[in-house]
Each structure stands twice: as C-alpha cells, then as structure tokens.
Amino acid sequence: MKTEKDKQPLRARRRLLLQALGGGALVGGLALTGSANAKAALSGSTRPRQADSDVLDVAIIGAGLSGLTSARDLQRAGCESFVVLEARERVGGRTYNHELGNGVVSEAGGQWIGPGQTAIADLARQLEVGTFDQYYQGKTVYLAGDARYAEASASGGASVSHDIARKLNEMARSVPGEAPWTAPNAAELDNITLGEWLNQQGVTTEDKIGLNMSTTLTFGAPPASLSLLHYLSIINTSDCSLEQLEGIKDGAQETRFVGGSQILCTKMAEHLGGKLKLSCPVREIVGWDQDVVELHTDQGIIRARQIIAALNPALCNQIRFTPALPSGRAGLQDRWPAHAPMRKTVHVYARPFWRDQGMNGQVVQTQGPIIWSYDNSPPDGSVGIISAFIKPGQLSHNPAEAERVLSDLYARALGEEARHPTQFHDHDWGKVDPWSLTCIHPIPPGFWTQWGEFLRPAAGRLIWSGTETADIWPGAMDGAVRSGHRAAFQALQALTENRRTTG
C-alpha cells in the first residue's frame, strides 16, 4: 500500500530533500536532526532499487575523525544505506589513546585544539566529551650540550620575536588557507623555503631554534624544507596569527579532551553497528567513473554509488584505481609529502612532581633525541605524565634503552624523581603499520603551485576527504571534522543529482 509520502510527486520530494540539505549543512555539519521532512524525503529517495539491492548509497573509506564525521552526518540526515571500511582493527586513525590504567590515557597522536577550531569543539559538545586546559604554568627547561637553562614564557609555547611574527602574519593575509596556489604572488612565495626567507630577514639564533622546533612539530619539517607559501597558508587559517598557531595559552595547543581525543571516534563509532567494518582495507577501486563503483577489500567486494575517501592523498596512493585516475590527481597522490610520521613517548610517574618546583614539564633539547616534552597528566593530576616528540633516528627502538636515555635527560631537566617512571610507552607512527604514513603534510617549495588544484575536485563518484582537504585547519583534527561534514553533504547532493538525472 502506498503511504502519503510515496504519493508525493517525485519532484516535490526531491525539492524537500534539497531544501533540507541546503538549509542545515553549513557550520557544524548537517543539522537535520528532528527534520521530519528531510528524513522522510531521504529515506524515500535512498531506498535501493530492486535490481540494485546490494548497492549502497555511500561507502566511506577510513574510520578516522573525518570518515566517522561523514558517517554521523549521513545517519543524522536519515541516510542508512552506507558502510565505513577501516583498514585497522580499531577506529580513530591518527587519534590513538594509550590506556594507562584506572581510566587514565595518554594520546599518541592528535590531542590539542584551540581558538577557532569550532567544528571539533561542537562535535565534542554534542558527544558530551569534556575538555580541560593544557598545563603550561612554570618554567620550560632548555638543554644545550651540557648546559641547562630554565625560563617561563607567557603563552607557554615557543616564542618568536614580535617583528618576525608580525611580518609573517601580514604576508599570510594574502594567502588563502583553502587554496594557497591562488594567492596573487603564489609563484614567488612557492619558490622559496621558509628557511631562506628567515635568512633574508637576519633572524636571531634564538628565533632560529624556536622556529626550528615549532615547524618540526606543527609542520613536520624544519624551515629549510618548507614552502613559504604553505607556511603562510596555515598561518592564514589560524586567523593570520602565528602566535595563535604555535601558542598554548590562547593558541592551538590550549585545550585537551577528557578521556583523550580518540574518545570522539569511539563514541561516533558506537552508533554505527554493522555499518562499520574493521580490519577491512580497501585495495582496489574499480569503475569510479561508472554509476556503481566496486571496492575490493580484504573482506570481499562492496558496491556503492558514492565513495568518500577519508584518507590523506598518500594513503589513497596505496589503493589501485581502475581505470587510472586523471593525471593531475594521480600526480598529487604520488608526490604527496608523507615523510613526517612522528614518534611520541610517554613516561608515567606517581605524580607530576615537577610542578612542585615551578616547572611545566616542558624540555627542549637543541642536540639530542627530544624535540619537545610536555606535561600530559590527566585533568586531576592523579598521576604525572611526560610525553615527548622524538627526533627521527636519534633514539633506540629498544624500549628499555629508550626509557633509560629519556629518564636520564628528564632527571637533568626536572629532577632525580624522573629516573623512576612507573610506565613507559613509545609510539612511532612510521613503524606501527602502513595506515597513516605521515602525521602531517610538510609541503616543499613548488608543490602547491603545481598540484594544489587537484586536491579537492571529485573524480567521477570519488569524493576526496580527510583533514588535508579542509578549508580551515587542514592537517588538524578540526580540519578532519570539517572535511567530514563537507564530504557527507557532497555525497548527499550527488545522490540527489544523480537520481534527478536518471529519473
């Protein structure tokens, strides 16, 4: 028997769907909850046709923040015909909690958010995940050879001279974060490294050390390897403020999630049930230029009308495409800079003893394995945790040896108690598995102006997502959430459009 909904002319139902999508999908994703019209329109329009009963509307590749945000938006919009295919046996991608016992975690991957990162902050509120401030009060210790020096900084992070920051902030205004290659002087800015530009400015040795550390942490490479154009584009997305990008207080390292950042992903995954397939890497995508696309996975073939690839371009490059992708996109994937996997260690102590002596747990080493350590204790300080970013190739992968070398350095910097951690963890993203490849994209000179235009445009039924494709905060967790919202919207729009053209 036909329902009232079925009797509505097809054209009117499509109009309802488009109105619902257009009206709700701006900031914060597809805000369609409670929109009965939208849900009715979607459930009617997305019902598989009989001949295509095994064909899904959408297949999402990747269960990181981006892919799971898309899945959540599809569900909230009333679309139930989708699947999320994840290569690992866990969700979260580049967010990953080390469980330390008694509910305490330490984040091995992405962990901080800050001002302007509203998409991820909204998501956390909706999922009822609390936040707390990164501990930074007190002195940072600098180790240079045998010398030790301690100093407090107002914002808690690396500081750069006001003059240099002001110049960079000013230049960043004309470099759009979402498309640096369209900047008026893109060719000129993409022809020079940040390091060369800094040399031209005659920066001080302290500034060089500070910038070397901050770009290695935030951009995955030292100034000598980074395109000035890329550097400025990321400052642009940070409200044209280097201080906001690199700072702790009022900066992008200001806020942490209670329970660790991966909890956002595990919470989103809870609602997916059988729509989430773990240990299911996609190996080949066949017919991306056809109405129905085949995904060849380790668990068989999945067929879908729209594909969201919620992966960085280097990961996409591990998938075989049949037919071959257009040359621009293929070239971008093939050359995507994926040499910044990052390594983080964790020392757990009975309590954050360094705080008693007016230190913030931050250690910067000019030569040696530590790039930067910081206080990663839980909000109540019930145990003390020092996490550190480690320079590639400068610390043994033997756990006992790595723990001892770092404990000795912490003892020099923070006091003798540092010699006796209760736990040690080591996570080298370049070694654990092939499903991240890089934590961030250290874009070299010449890359954006040659390949940038191929980053986002869809290829047939393939929608490119993942933090790298975000308009704001690309590379960050906030960018991942934004790209997930955009991709879900794009998929729903494409489904509607395809149904309109095929009747």
Ligand X SMILES: Cc1cc2nc3c(=O)[nH]c(=O)nc-3n(C[C@H](O)[C@H](O)[C@H](O)COP(=O)(O)OP(=O)(O)OC[C@H]3O[C@@H](n4cnc5c(N)ncnc54)[C@H](O)[C@@H]3O)c2cc1C
> Which residues are CB-contacts of 423 (< 8 A; sequence separation ≥ 6)?
100, 346, 347, 348
Smaller CB separation from ligand X, 389 or 424? 389
Smaller CB separation from ligand X, 93 or 247? 93
CA distance 450 to 34: 45
Minimum CB separation of residue 431 from ligand X in Å reads 13
Minimum CB separation of residue 372 from ligand X in Å reads 12
Smaller CB separation from ligand X, 46 or 261? 261
**Distance of CA 137 to CAs 140, 247, 327, 374, Å?**
9, 13, 51, 11
- Element housing 426 (H / E): strand 423-428
Footprint of ligand X (CB under 6 A): 61-67, 85-88, 93-95, 109-113, 281-282, 310-312, 315, 318-319, 342, 344, 429, 435-436, 439, 466-467, 475-478, 480
Smaller CB separation from ligand X, 421 or 475? 475
Coil vs helix vs strand at 227:
strand
Under 8 Å between Cβ of 463 and 57: no
CA distance 65 to 311: 10
Pairing of strands 131-133, 104-107: unpaired
Smaller CB separation from ligand X, 78 or 93? 93
Smaller CB separation from ligand X, 276 or 282? 282
Provide the token pair at 350: 């009975």
Closest-CA residue to 38 (of 56, 24, 52, 20): 20
Chain position carrying tokens 């989430």: 276
Provide the token pair at 172: 């960043």
Under 8 Å between Cβ of 273 and 309: no
Under 8 Å between Cβ of 366 and 378: no
Provide the token pair at 217: 């942490």
Minimum CB separation of residue 470 from ligand X in Å reads 8
Minimum CB separation of residue 359 from ligand X in Å reads 22
Minimum CB separation of residue 166 from ligand X in Å reads 25
Minimum CB separation of residue 172 from ligand X in Å reads 19
Tell me the β-bridge partners of 385.
348
Smaller CB separation from ligand X, 326 or 430? 430
- Element housing 295 (H / E): strand 293-297
Minimum CB separation of residue 265 from ligand X in Å reads 8
Smaller CB separation from ligand X, 78 or 452? 452
Minimum CB separation of residue 406 from ligand X in Å reads 17
Minimum CB separation of residue 369 from ligand X in Å reads 16
> DSSP letter string over 316-378?
HTTSEEESPPPHHHHHHHHH-------EEEEEEESS-GGGGGTEEEEEEESSSSEEEEEE---
Smaller CB separation from ligand X, 85 or 229? 85
Under 8 Å between Cβ of 203 and 161: yes
Pairing of strands 139-144, 147-152: antiparallel
Smaller CB separation from ligand X, 46 or 467? 467
Minimum CB separation of residue 86 from ligand X in Å reads 5
